[in-house]
Amino acid sequence: MTDSRVDDYIATLPAWQQTTCEHVRQLIHEAGPDIAETIKFTDRPYFVLSGNVCALLATKDHVNIFIYDPVAPDPEHIINQGHGNATARAIQLYENDTLNERAFVDLIKAVCASNRAGGWRKLGSVR
C-alpha cells in the first residue's frame, strides 16, 4: 500500500536520489506486498508491517535505508552502518552504488517474518 506523502518526499530529492528511493521502494513492496507506507517524524518515509520494517532518509550525499531489526540475517553483508545498534542498522547508498537486490529482498522478507512472529524484541537473536 503506497502513500502519496512518500511520493511527495521523494519528489523533493535530487534526481539520482529519486531514482534510488523509487527503486528501493519497489524492492520493499516486492519483498512484502502487504507492507504499508506512512510518514513518521514529520517527513520520513517508513515501511511498516506489524511494526517498523525500514525507513528512508536522504542526506546531502547518500540515501540511508534504516532496517528496523538488529538481528535479521545479513549473510551478504549489505548492511554497512549501525552494527551493534540496539534497534536498527542501515544501508547507505551513494550515487552510482549498486544495491544487491536479491540480498535486500531477502533481508526485508526476514524482517517481515520476524515482525509477524512478534518482532525481534520477542524473538531475540533466535532465528
Interval 19-74: pLDDT, tens:
999 999 999 999 999 999 999 999 999 999 999 999 999 999 999 999 999 989 99
C-alpha cell recorded at residue 53: 520494517
Q: Is 69 contained in some domain?
A: yes
What is the spatial distance between Cα 105 and Cα 27, in angstroms, rounded to a whole number?
A: 6
Confidence grade of residue 125 (pLDDT, cut at 50, 70, 90)? low
Range(s) of the domain holding residue 17: 4-117
Which residue in this structure is represented by grid cell 549473510? 75
CATH number of 55's domain: 3.90.1150.200
Q: Is 124 contained in some domain?
A: no
pLDDT at 127 over 60: no
Interval 93-124: pLDDT, tens:
999 999 999 999 999 999 999 999 998 877 66
Q: Is 122 contained in some domain?
A: no
Radius of gyration, CA atoms only, the chain = 14
The pLDDT of residue 124 is 63
**Predicted TM-score of the model (pTM):** 0.93
Collapsing DSSP to helix, strand or coil, 99 comes out as coil
Domains identified in the chain, total number? 1
Of 79 and 85, the structure prediction assigns the larger pLDDT to: 79
- Helix H or strand E encompassing 103: helix 101-116
C-alpha cell recorded at residue 123: 524473538
Q: Is 127 contained in some domain?
A: no
